[in-house]
Amino acid sequence: MMRRSIVKGVGAYLPEKVLTNDDLSQLVETSDEWIKQRTGIERRHIAADGELTCDLSAKAALAAMDNAGVTADDIDLVILATTTPDNTFPATAARVQAKLGVSKGPAFDVQAVCSGFIFALTQADNMIRLGQAKRALVIGAEIYSRILDWQDRSTCVLFGDGAGAIVLEAAEGEGSNTDRGVLATSLGTDGRCYDHLYVDGGVASTQTAGVVKMAGKEVFRQAVSRMCESVEQVLADCDLSKEDLNWLIPHQANIRIINKVGDKLGLDGSKVIVTVQDHANTSAATIPLALTHGVKKGLFKPGDVIALTAMGGGFTWGAALLRW
């Protein structure tokens, strides 16, 4: 027998304020047609004044807990993936833990930009496998609207704010690829690409938050290759093939990247979850947002093999394979 971590519940939260492409055309030289053709994005959500990453996180986490049928007393691990913490320290996860009323186990942040949720999921899965936790909250939450240059149309049209969460729960499996739950994860980083996607500020460098800077063509090229490679890796680790995949949930950054990854993996478009049109790139939050979308739509059936994959600044990348 092998200890596995299964997805017990999912949840999401998007701020009330919506910024459409037409709204953006009033701020910067762009248009609805230009943005949709190049990115697939139609709208993004913007956090309200005074609304913090911990607030988005807690709302998504509560939704996931409700979906899972668990309470704060059942949670013994909180991991938050975010690039936009409330404060330099303590970890925003600590504030989320307190807001939820969770009183046991560790709570900490993971920073791997758009790959953050995969990194956080991997950490939670490993801790559950080792018996260090029984039930974990894994959250991805971002407020990118506060680290954007709203005069730079190459970046400001791409991002939005939001949060998604899952409850992972320990369960016994046979140790085969037919088990329910997380079957394999794979992570990577190439620090040589640090300056291709970064924020030009920080505590030690400028003592400011800074704004997003991106070399778009290089990000596109690397995103497609790294995401495909990582999915192929977790499939190989489980002695499964692309034909065994029922669903792909890629990082929701750009419709062209999403389509290219699906094509390279040989997946029909109907098996690729796409939500970027509704919330833009919410960095670490996109995968749990898309996963929650799939659950609400009733798309996944027991036994389905689902691949999650992302690439982000660093460059970081990763994938997780799970059986529903």
Is residue 54 among the annotated active site residues?
Answer: no
Predicted pLDDT at 77: 98
CB 240 within 8 A of CB 321: yes
Partner residues linked to 322 by β-bridges: 182, 306
Q: What is the pLDDT of residues 172-195, one digit of tens each?
A: 999 999 999 999 999 999 999 999
Segments in 238-300 forming alpha helices (H): 255-264, 276-279, 286-296
Partner residues linked to 187 by β-bridges: 318
User: Which of 251, 254, 279, 293 is labelled catalytic?
Assistant: 251
Partner residues linked to 26 by β-bridges: none
User: Which of 54, 67, 114, 293 is labelled catalytic?
Assistant: 114
Confidence band for 104, pLDDT divided at 50, 70 and 90: very high
Q: What is the pLDDT of residues 129-141, one digit of tens each?
A: 999 999 999 999 9
Mean pLDDT of 238-250: 98
The SS3 assignment for 247 reads: strand
CATH of 181-323, one of 3.20.20.70, 3.40.47.10, 3.40.640.10, 3.40.50.1820: 3.40.47.10
Residue ranges per structural domain of the chain = 2-173, 181-323
C-alpha 306/C-alpha 250 separation (Å) is 10
CB 33 within 8 A of CB 210: no
| CATH 3.40.50.300 for domain 2-173 | no
Q: What is the pLDDT of residues 195-224, one digit of tens each?
A: 999 999 999 999 999 999 999 999 999 999
Instruction: Tell me whether the CATH fold assigned to 2-173 matches the one assigned to 181-323.
Output: yes
C-alpha 107/C-alpha 76 separation (Å) is 9
What per-residue string of b and e applies to 117-141 under the rule 16 or more CB within 10 Å gives b?
A: bbbbbbbbbebbbeeebbbbbbbbb
Question: What pTM was computed for the model?
Answer: 0.98
User: Which of 228, 238, 281, 293 is labelled catalytic?
Assistant: 281
Is residue 67 among the annotated active site residues?
Answer: no
